[in-house]
Structures are given as structure tokens and as C-alpha cells.
Amino acid sequence: MRMSFTLLLALCLGVACAFAQTKPATPLRIIVFGAHPDDCDLGAGGVAILYSALGHQVKFVSMTNGDAGHQDIGGGELAKRRYQETQEVAKRLGITYDVLDNHDGELMPTLENRLAVIRKIREWKADLVIAPRTNDYHPDHRNTGIVVQDAAYLVIVPNILSSVPPLTKNPVFLYFRDGFQRPNPFRPDIAVDITEILTKKVEGLDAHTSQFYEWLPWTRQDLANVPKSPVERKKWLLTAMERRFSLTPEIRTTVEKWYGPEKAATIKAVEVFEICEYGRQPSPEEIKRLFPMLPH
């Protein structure tokens, strides 16, 4: 049967519109810093999936090579294994994943590391930078937060790291969600619904076999309870992540702010971020531009 010109034109326009929706004219560029090769995934793996699906660009950066995070192996062997895990994550999530060659457990807020962060942010031409806060149980986490904070203004200063062109506009800097209360608790400024893609996020975490099925259970004295079957392991991990990314009363208030009470009542899992005082201070309108997955 021959297709009419009108129908053919309508189909072509539909395809073009769908392509335009997934390929924005000016993709956002998001860079996420973590201390270890699974930290970015935990804090922002869900939004990374959503950004990637919308045609935006995401880079994860681990500040250390993770060479101490295992009970049986370490050093170069472990660093190589953990790097390979990050590259598998990159494939699964549709992102880029860099790993810096600092030793796990030894990260310091040095000038060298600050310049490395400035370089990464500038080269990526970041619109949005996400990192941990500076109060945390792990010194690598705290020091990652410090070096990213220290870079927040300097990324626009031409005479700092003059070999790399400065950004013309300071990015918005955000913190991951955490539960630490002192000296000040995490403030949930922005909440993103990841209910429908939590399973996909777990697919990314699942690639970090050395961590989620070996090292972290060992540190909790829970290794014997990790399922042996790959399918059952993912189910076990999904259950843990459902708990981790559930809504507290305070976070539910933030979810209602961005999604409205009716939609918020259906949301079961979220990634939440605090706006850092040191970067650009976005208006609600700019937050919606930077988070196009939020309702408009």
C-alpha cells in the first residue's frame, strides 16, 4: 500500500521532533567528582542516566584509584580492576569515567590536586559540578570536597592554571546527599525522582563487583549474606538501594516543592543535592534549566 505524502510528512516531522527532544541544541555538561571509583555512581548515577537519555554530557571523576579498598587484594592489581569496573559503568550509563592516579586513603587537599580539579572542570566546560560535602567519615571524601570547593571560584580566574582557558561563567556547584549532622546537616535543595530508573542505576553499581559484592559487605561483616547468583545479587543490591534513596520527611518536602504533592506521593526513590555557596547561585528557573528532567 502506498503511503500518502501527508502521512509521510507527518511521520518525518514526528521523528524530527523526537530527535530534537533527545538531542538538545546546546547539551548541558555535567561533571561529578568522587573520592573513589564508585562514589559518583552512588551520589549521582540516577541523574547521570537521565541526563544521558536526554542527550546531555556527563563525566564522572574519581580522585583516587581505589587501590586500598579490598580485603584480599590491593595496590596495582586492585587499581586496575577498579578502573576496568568504572569503564564498564561508563558503557552501561552512557557517560565518561576518569580515574586519577592518587592512592586510596592518602588523598590530600594539595595545590596539585586543586589544579587537577580546575583542569577537569575547564576542559569539560562544565555547567554543573557535583561533589561530596567536607564533613564525612572518610578523609578522602572530605578532601575531595575541599579541593572541589577550592576550585569553585578559581575556574574563572585566567592567571590560575593559565595553560587551560578559564571558564567564562562560573558553574553551579552542588553537594551529594549524606546523613552527617555535624557541624551542619545536609540541606536538600534539589530532589530528582529516580523511581523509574533505580533498577538502571543498580545496573551501574553492579559493575563495581569488587565493592558492592566483596569489600563493602566485608566491612559490614555481611559478606556471607551476599547471594552467589548474579541475578539474585542484583535483587539484593536493589533492595539496599531502595532503602538508601528513600524519602525522609524533610526530603519529601523538597520533592513536593519541585513535583507538587500529587506527583510526590508516587515517588519512592530520589537523588538529592545541596547548592554550594561558593559557585553560582541559581534561581529556580535556572535550576529547572540545569535539571531538565524536573517538571516545567
Identify the weakest region by mean pLDDT among 13-17, 191-195, 208-212: 13-17
pLDDT of residue 129: 98
DSSP 231-254: HHHHHHHHHHHHHHT---HHHHHH
Between β-strands 270-275 and 190-193, what pairing exists: parallel, antiparallel or unpaired?
Answer: antiparallel
7 has pLDDT over 60: no
Q: Tell me what percent of the residues of the chain surpass a pLDDT of 90.
A: 91
pTM of the predicted model as reported, rounded to 2 decimal places: 0.92
Taken in order of first residue, the domains within the chain and their CATH numbers are: 26-193+272-290 (3.40.50.10320)
pLDDT band, residue 10 (cuts 50/70/90): very low
Confidence (pLDDT) at 46: 98
243-289 residue pLDDT tens: 999 999 999 999 999 999 999 999 999 999 999 999 999 999 999 99
Mean pLDDT of the chain: 93
Query: Which pLDDT does position 23 carry in this prediction?
Result: 78
Supply the pLDDT for residue 197: 98
Predicted local distance difference test score (pLDDT) of residue 24: 87
Q: What is the pLDDT of residues 128-142, one digit of tens each?
A: 999 999 999 999 999
One-letter amino acid at 104 equals D
245, 269 contact by CB (below 8 A): yes
What confidence tens digit (pLDDT) does each residue in 88-124 have?
999 999 999 999 999 999 999 999 999 999 999 999 9
DSSP string, 127-172: SEEEE--S--SSHHHHHHHHHHHHHHHHTT-TTSSTTSPPPSSPPE
Q: Which amino acid is at 217?
A: P
